[in-house]
Structure formats: C-alpha cells, structure tokens
Amino acid sequence: MIHALKPENEAARIASLNELQILDSGPELNYDNIAQLASYICEVPVSLITLLAEDKQWIKARIGTDICDTERNISFCSHAILEPDELMEVQDTLLDPRFINNPLVTSDANIRFYAGMPIRAKNGEALGTLCVLDRKPHTLNDKQKEALKALAKQVESLFELRRQNLSLEKVKKELGIKNNLLKEFAGTVSHDMKMPLANMIITSDLLKAKYGGLLDDTGLNYLTYLKQSSFRLSNYITDILNHYESDTLLDTHTESFDLQDVLEQIIDLLNIKFDCEINLPEDNLTIQCNRAAFQQIFFNLIGNSLKYNNQEKIVIDVTGIEKNGYYHFSITDNGIGIPENKQEAIFELFTIVEEADRSGNRGNGIGLSTVKKLVNNLGGEISVKSVVNKGTTFYFTIKRAV
C-alpha cells in the first residue's frame, strides 16, 4: 500500500473546506440524490460524496454502505484529489500497488473497484470526491465517466451555494449588530437632544411673557421662529426614533382586536382641531395581527391626510375588508395630492414632496418610509394613487396572522 502525498495547496484546501462548515453536518437530500444517481448510472452498489479533512475522510452522502468516515491515509480519495481535473479509475484494486494490502481492500469492505471525480472549491482546491465503488472488478464506459463528472459539478454547485449562504448569514448578522448599535445611538442622541429642545421652547415662552413688552415686532418674530424651529427639530428627532424603533414594534405578540375601536382611539390621539369628517368602514372587522405596528401605520397615514390638506373641511374615507387571508385597506383624502412624478419615491427615506404642511411645518420624509417598512413586515404591500389638488388614496394590505 502506498500513502498519498498531501497536495501542495493543502493549507488553502483545508481553509476552503473549513469555510463550508460542512464537516459532521447531517444528511441532506440534495447530496443523497446525487449519490443515488451516480450509483444507478455507473451500475455499482456503492456511491459516496467524500471530504478530505486533515486526518480523516468524512462522508457527506452514502449509498450502499454505512461507513461514516475513515482514516485519511487509507482513503482512495486522498490519491484522487492529487489530480483535481481528472477522474481516477481503479478497475481492480488488487492489481494497483497503491491499494494492495489497504484495509479497505483486505477487510470486509472488500473494495475491488473505485472511480472518483474530485470536487473542487471556487478557488480550485479539491475538497473531496464523488466516487463509486464495487466489490468486484469493474470498468466505466465513456458515458458513465462523463455522467460522473457532470454529477460532481452539481456537488460543486451545492458547495458554492452553501458557501454563499454562510457568507450572507455572516453579513446579515454583522448588519444586525450594526443596526442595533445605530438604534441605540439614535435613541441615546434623540433623548439627549429632546431635553435641551424642550428647555428652548419653554425659555422662548418665558422670554416672550416677561420681556415681550420690551421687544419690537422683529424681536418677537425671532422668539416665535426659535420656538417653531425647536418644535420642528423635536418632531424630526421623534420621527427618526420611530423609524429605527419600528422593527421593535413587531417584537410584541400578535393579538385579536376590533378595527373600529382602534381607529377611534387613533382619531382621539390625533387631537384634531379643525373641521374634519372621517368616515370609517361600514362593516367592522376583527383584526388578527401585531396591534402596535397596525396602529402606527394608521396613525401616520391619517395624520398625513390631515397635515397635507388645504381644504376648509377635510374629508377622509377609510375602507377595510378581509379577503383570502389578507386585510385590504384604503385611506382616501381630499388633500393637496402628490405629483405623479413623485409618487414612486414617496416611500423612500427622507423623500419630501411638499415644502410645508397645513400648519406651515416642513416634513422630513421619514413617516411614509416607516409605514412601508411596517406594512412589509406584516406581510403586505402598499401603493398610492393621487391627483394634485384633488386628493390621495393609499392602498395597503396586511396578512392575517394565524
């Protein structure tokens, strides 16, 4: 018996193998199916997908045997990987000096025929083989050899897909950590900034009350501007915080609640101080989903219908039905509308359509981005139709929780 030498690129080969995180993993149907096909096409009783680690040969898929692993120095595949581009065929192991007296030949395993095609990593290192075995001398014809090579390529594709998935999972985890840090940063900064802003608003009122008589119109306008700017920045910070905390809304459990009750609570929270008619759905619904996220969606959309409206009387129509496992909602207003060339972009973060709302405050382009994220996270989609100076309708769906 002759022990195989280790490939010159052994260190890189082992690194590529470890990158797959596949050693000692459980059976997988895709690999088993390929091994089954190899056994059938080559007309042999045993087929394996093997991986060569530092000291052992580990078997990912097996047909016709219960072997899980062997020592690397007695494996046939340790010889096959030395020629990564070639199929190695041993028609009779008793006639090949590399395998005479090999325990896999002389023991109950009784391997008399071997054919193995190396399986390569993306960078070219041979990680193992797709091999077929028989307990008697055997020969593959040309079609069987080509088929074995083609099946080995399919294993390579599975390995590459696994590598990419692992890489994506790593990136996803890293992004999750960074996103959490960003949320913590946004939360800390937001709370730290809100107190000074509140002090600025109070101080503006105190200055106006105590020294207003000593200031001319320009001075009073400066105080008013200072207060309005402080409010605007405070609202901006609140919207940023809501956007980054919107994912945490989904951490709360799903519950069943009454649509009419929730909408009436939202209208109360909006504290509407001008002439407004809000028509709720004629037929009430029992909603089964995340209540906190649901409330935030309607709060933002109805709030926008109120803010971006220049009519003496604001009219908002809300509809809702349940169909095929989804809730279908619409919110229609008689507001200022959205230009057609801006409708596709309004759900993007920091996209602003109008310079100022009904009260003269400038939007920040965060609210609708938050709404879209919440709708998508609840398994739905959102769209808009609008005509300038006539009104806007938002259509969105939410998947019914089971």
Which strands make up the sheet holding 46-52, listed edge to edge? 69-71, 56-63, 46-52, 126-134, 113-120, 88-90
Asked if the structure places residue 130 within a domain, the reply is yes
Residues 126 and 263 in one domain: no
Of 216, 76, 48, which Cα lies nearest the Cα of 132?
48
Give me the helices (H) in 43-110, please: 77-80, 103-106
Residues 157 and 16 in one domain: yes
Of 300, 387, 301, 395, which Cα lies nearest the Cα of 336?
387
Of 69, 43, 228, which Cα lies nearest the Cα of 143?
43
Residues 48 and 159 in one domain: yes
Residues 151 and 256 in one domain: no
Q: What is the pLDDT of residue 245?
A: 62
pTM above 0.85, yes or no: no
Asked if the structure places residue 98 within a domain, the reply is yes
- The CATH number covering residue 345 comes to 3.30.565.10
Q: What residues form DSSP beta bridges with 384? A: 394
Residues 265 and 132 in one domain: no
Q: Point out the domain boundary residue: 146, 166, 186.
A: 166
Residues 152 and 20 in one domain: yes
Asked if the structure places residue 391 within a domain, the reply is yes
For 83, 250, 360, the CA distances from 155, given in Å and listed in that order, are 18, 39, 63
Residues 140 and 14 in one domain: yes
Contact call for residues 262 and 291 (beta carbons, < 8 A)? yes
Domain that holds residue 294: 250-402
Asked if the structure places residue 228 within a domain, the reply is no
DSSP string, 358-377: TTSPPP-S-HHHHHHHHHHH
DSSP string, 60-74: EEEES----EEEGGG
Asked if the structure places residue 323 within a domain, the reply is yes
Per-residue pLDDT of the chain (402 residues; tens, 9 = 90+): 899 899 999 999 999 999 999 998 999 999 999 999 999 999 999 999 999 999 999 999 999 998 888 999 999 999 999 999 999 999 999 999 999 999 999 998 899 999 999 999 988 999 999 999 999 999 999 999 999 999 999 999 999 999 999 999 998 888 888 777 777 776 677 667 777 778 888 888 888 888 888 889 888 888 888 887 777 677 667 766 666 666 666 656 788 999 999 999 999 988 888 899 999 998 899 999 988 889 989 999 999 999 899 999 999 999 999 999 999 999 999 999 999 988 888 888 767 766 567 766 666 667 888 899 899 999 999 999 999 999 999 999 999 988
Q: What residues form DSSP beta bridges with 386? A: 392
Count the Cβ atoms, other than its own, within 10 Å of residue 233.
Answer: 16
- The CATH number covering residue 152 comes to 3.30.450.40
Q: What is the pLDDT of residue 185?
A: 73
270, 273, 275, 278: CA torsion to nearest 10: 10
130: its two tokens? 């797709």
Residues 19 and 138 in one domain: yes
Residues 23 and 162 in one domain: yes
Q: What is the pLDDT of residue 365?
A: 67
Asked if the structure places residue 146 within a domain, the reply is yes
Q: Point out the domain boundary residue: 132, 166, 200.
A: 166
Taking the C-alpha atoms of residue 158 and residue 22, their distance in angstroms, rounded to an integer, is 11
Asked if the structure places residue 144 within a domain, the reply is yes
Q: What is the pLDDT of residue 350?
A: 67
Q: What is the pLDDT of residue 252?
A: 61
Count the Cβ atoms, other than its own, within 10 Å of residue 335.
Answer: 26
Looking at the structure of the chain, the number of domains it has is: 2
Q: What is the pLDDT of residue 244?
A: 61
Residues 392 and 255 in one domain: yes
Taking the C-alpha atoms of residue 263 and residue 295, their distance in angstroms, rounded to an integer, is 8
Give me the helices (H) in 212-327, please: 217-249, 259-270, 291-307
Of 108, 123, 200, 122, which Cα lies nearest the Cα of 157?
122
Q: Point out the domain boundary residue: 138, 166, 194.
A: 166
Does an H or E element contain 327, and which? Answer: strand 326-333
* Residue carrying structure tokens 């459990």: 253
Asked if the structure places residue 191 within a domain, the reply is no
Residues 139 and 274 in one domain: no
Q: 362-394: buried (b, 16+ CB within 10 Å) or exposed (e) per residue?
A: ebbbbbbbbbbbbbeebebebebebeeeebbbb
Q: What is the pLDDT of residue 356?
A: 65
Q: Phi and psi dihedrals of 129, rounded to 5?
A: -145, 160
Taking the C-alpha atoms of residue 13 and residue 3, their distance in angstroms, rounded to an integer, is 19
Contact call for residues 133 and 46 (beta carbons, < 8 A)? yes
Residues 291 and 158 in one domain: no
Q: What is the pLDDT of residue 113?
A: 97
Contact call for residues 126 and 81 (beta carbons, < 8 A)? yes
Contact call for residues 116 and 85 (beta carbons, < 8 A)? no
